[in-house]
Amino acid sequence: MIARNNWLQTLSLLFTLTLAWAGLSAQTSQKAPNAVAPDGSPWKRTLAGTPTQPQTKVTERDWPAQEGAASVCLWHDDALAAFSYTIDDNNAMDIPYWLEIADKYKIKLTWFVITSNIDRTDGRRAQGGTWDAWRQVYAKGHDVQSHSVDHMSKATTMPADEEYGDSQKAIEKNIPGDRCLTLAYPGGGRPNDHAVAMKYYIACRGSYPPFSVPGKIAYENTGLTSAGVVLDPKHMHYIGQCLDPKSRYYRSWYCGLTHFVGPHEDTKKMLTEGFEFVTKTPGEFWLGRYRDVILYGMERDTDKLQSRIVEPGKYELALTSQMDPALYDFPLTVKVKIGDSAKTVTAKQGDKPIDVRIIENAGKKFALVEVVPNRGPALVETK
């Protein structure tokens, strides 16, 4: 009898453990279907350091020759170059101006904010703004990212970990849905610590020049110009170099910066003329938020793409990257050669529809498909 009871207890224990293992496996598969990157290495949180060899080759736009062949575009929507505009130090009194000009030119902006200046009750309140104001900015599709807690001010002795980490926590707590993944290094007088900053962020905006060349981007210290949008062809930061095949900055990412606008008509004139330049020819510049360009760049720099014809008019795209899917969920633009008689196109990844459109070049048809890496194959169907 005792032996039988022991056997029943053992059987019950095994059954319980089996159910627990099954439940744990199900939970794990939902959160992280793959414990490692597709090449067997650990997922990458960021790409550290300055590349010694180009991770992406800069060429003219690619046009796959064979039906079913595909390639990842250098920039979103196969743009020739990328453009981001950033605002530092809050300067909340300028928010109405920025929202107006952004709506006019269909540009999404990035604010890098000093969190200790927000919701103040002293004279800095107008400059720092309120969390409610920044939530409204974010709700309009713009981005709010970190410029540290106290701007690395000499007046404080706050450790770098707190300057960088506490600012990130404050933004994500007070702006629901906002992922604070990037930092603009503050220039308050104390030196920045890149190694500490990269414990909290996947990329940081640094200093000159404003051009970040694809495949050679140092993500811990990306470029910018505080001159805004430089339109003087004789100036070293002339934005037109992004569009010049003879320039070493051809097809680069240009990042501009403004602090205070206020009544300065010369600044407003520069911004109007600059935004006119980057929007005058559709497809020349991708007008991307700073964080989105960062996500796209690292996914692209580590991507692997396989394509095949499933049946006439149907194409499968299997896109992976080495970047951690818990952080990297921005779609890469994939260009696939489709049949030249195609009239319409649809696409889905898993059971979700994804953006796709038909374009033509030299009488040939292609589909531009927005595919998120590491989320399973995408299926493109033409009729």
Region 343-362: what's the mean pLDDT?
98
**For 40, left (φ over 0), alpha (ψ -120 to 50), or beta?**
left
Which of the four pLDDT bands, split at 50, 70 and 90, describes residue 188? low
Nearest to 368 by CA among 58, 75, 99, 83: 75
Mean pLDDT in the chain?
90
Write out the E strands in 321-363.
Answer: 332-337, 345-349, 352-353, 356-361
Domain 70-75+302-382 matches domain 81-282 at the CATH topology level = no
- In the numeric block, the tokens 């992922």 are attached to 179
User: What is the pLDDT averaged over residues 14-38?
Assistant: 44
Q: What is the pLDDT of residue 35?
A: 67
- pLDDT score for 48: 84
- Report the pLDDT averaged over residues 324-331: 98
More confident residue, 31 or 101: 101
**pLDDT for the residue 270:** 97
Range with the poorest average pLDDT among 122-126, 227-231, 288-292, 317-321: 122-126
**Fold category of 70-75+302-382 in CATH:** Immunoglobulin-like (2.60.40)
Q: Is the pLDDT of residue 23 over 60?
A: no
Q: Which of 60, 105, 109 is nearest to 214 (CA)?
A: 60
Report the Cα 272 to chain-centroid distance in Å.
25
CA distances from 202 to 8, 119, 195, 358 (A): 53, 27, 11, 33
Helices 160-174 & 131-139 angle (0-180, nearest 10):
70
Per residue in 227-277, pLDDT tens? Answer: 999 999 999 999 999 999 999 999 999 999 999 999 999 999 999 999 999
pLDDT single digits (tens) 141-185? 999 999 999 998 877 788 999 999 999 999 999 999 999 999 999
Is pLDDT at 20 greater than 50 in this prediction?
no
Nearest 5°: phi and psi at 112? -105, 115
Give the pLDDT of residue 182. Answer: 98
Dump pLDDT digits (tens) for 42-87: 999 999 887 767 778 899 999 999 999 999 999 999 999 999 999 9
CATH code that applies to domain 81-282: 3.20.20.370
Report the pLDDT value the prediction gives residue 1, as an integer from 0 to 100.
40
Q: What is the pLDDT averaged over residues 93-115?
A: 98
Q: Residue 209 has what pLDDT?
A: 86
Q: Give the Cα separation of 187 and 28 in Å (integer).
A: 43
Listed by start position, the domains of the chain span 70-75+302-382, 81-282
